[in-house]
Amino acid sequence: MEIMTPFKFFRVVFSLSLQSPVDGKPMLLTPEESIQIQNRIGADIIMALDDVVKTTTKGPRIEEAMYRTLRWIDRDLCVKGLVERNLPGYAIGGLAGGEDKDSFWRVVAQCTASLPEDKPRYVMGVGYPLDIVVCSALGADMYDCVYPTRTARFGTALVPEGVLKLKHKAMADDIRPVDPTCECMVCKNYTRAYIHCLVTKDAMGSQLLSYHNLYYMLKLSRDLHSSIVRGQFPQFVCQFLQKMFPEGDVPEWVCNAMEVAGIDISSCCAPFPMSHDEHQTIYESKWVA
């Protein structure tokens, strides 16, 4: 089993200032301690500590962060006693902090373009199914995100059309499964109506939706992988986008990213795509009847 160890970063000194997940008190973490802890809990993949700045930051702070991160990696390598110059993989961090989508995909594209082809690229904190499809098109390999389980606890299910808000009154007498195309235990046994009466009130509601959402994400990964292996990745992307945007209103940032990735999605885009703002409103209020 793989355990990845993400941390939440706040400010930076010689070590990292973090918030303890147990009592919320601030604590300091040095690069050496970070590696030690990750080794002790038996992680298969461990991350070097990085100095995180917001993608929107400009100016000398970025350079400072870059050099500091490099110094920390050198310290980590010394600590581990490795002499290798090559690192086994790379993580792209500092995203998923609420930056706009246009910046987000450009940063990912830039990183994947400059990182070695034969090492895994892990985009930390991503994310929404659409973001994962786009990043995969741009050459990313691994992801982690709390989104599927967190959104489940709020009563939201992930479905091919986007999201389904089980809390909504209309769900109370809807006897279809959450996702009729899904083969998971929850979709095979339970109705939207029953889950509706559980969500946000009973722990079991969170469990059932978390189960489905995780199954959905794992299936998405598997489908992305197998479509690439079969040489049908662009078709898969088109099918994915068609289900999510049946009116052809694929967001502009997705179109731009796919263009850079070299994936032709013209068959799923409406002739006159809407502006970014118009699309945001529809995407956020979308639920499936």
Partner 1 sequence: MKFRVKAWSKTGRSRVGELELGSCPHTFETPALLLSTRKGLPHFISPQLLPSLPSPDSFLLQCNPLHFIEGIPFETVSRIGGLHDMLGLREYALAAAPRDSDVCIPESNSSNKFGASFETPSGRHLIKPIEYMKMISSTKPDLWTTLADEVPAWVSQKRNRTSVDRTVKWLDECIGQNVTGGAVFGSIVGGSSIEERQRCAQEIARRNVSGYWIGGFGLGESMEQRPALLHAVVTNLPEEKPRQIFGLSLPEEVLQGISAGVDLFDSTYIYDLTIGGLALTFPVNGTEPHPSDYQLNDNVSDFTKINLKATIYRKDESPILDSCNCYTCQNHTKAYINHLLNVHEMLAQTLLEIHNTHHYLALFRTIREAIKGDRFEEFKHKFIQGRREASVL
In the complex, which residues of this chain contact partner 1 (CB under 8 A)?
21-22, 172-173, 175, 185, 188-191, 193-194, 196-198, 201-204, 206-208, 211
Length of the chain: 289
Q: Cβ closer to partner 1: 182 or 268?
A: 182
Question: Of 150 and 230, which CB lies nearer to partner 1 in the complex structure?
Answer: 150
Q: What's the closest the beta carbon of residue 20 comes to partner 1, in angstroms?
A: 10
225/232 Cα distance (integer angstroms): 10
Least distance between partner 1 and beta carbon 164 (Å):
17
Q: Give dist(CA 4, CA 42) in Å, integer.
A: 10
User: Considering beta carbons, is residue 194 or 283 the nearer one to partner 1?
Assistant: 194
3-state secondary structure of 124: strand
Q: List, as own/partner pairs, every contact residues 51-58 make where C-beta atoms lie below 8 angstroms and the sequence separation is at least 24, other chains included.
A: 51/12, 52/9, 52/12, 52/93, 52/94, 53/94, 54/94, 54/97, 54/99, 55/94, 55/95, 55/97, 55/99, 55/103, 55/104, 55/107, 56/99, 56/103
CA–CA gap between residue 224 and residue 136 (Å, rounded): 8
In the complex with partner 1, the residue whose CB is nearer, 157 or 208, is 208
User: Cβ 55 to partner 1, closest distance in Å?
Assistant: 30
User: At its nearest, how many Å lie between partner 1 and the CB of residue 261?
Assistant: 38
Alpha carbon dihedral 103, 107, 110, 114, in 10-degree steps, equals 170
Given the complex with partner 1, which of 22 and 229 has the nearer CB atom?
22
Q: Which residue, 70 or 172, is less far from partner 1 as judged by CB?
A: 172
User: CB of 160: closest distance to partner 1 in angstroms?
Assistant: 23
Phi, psi of 240 (to 5 degrees): -60, -50
- Compute the least distance from the CB of residue 216 to partner 1, in Å: 16
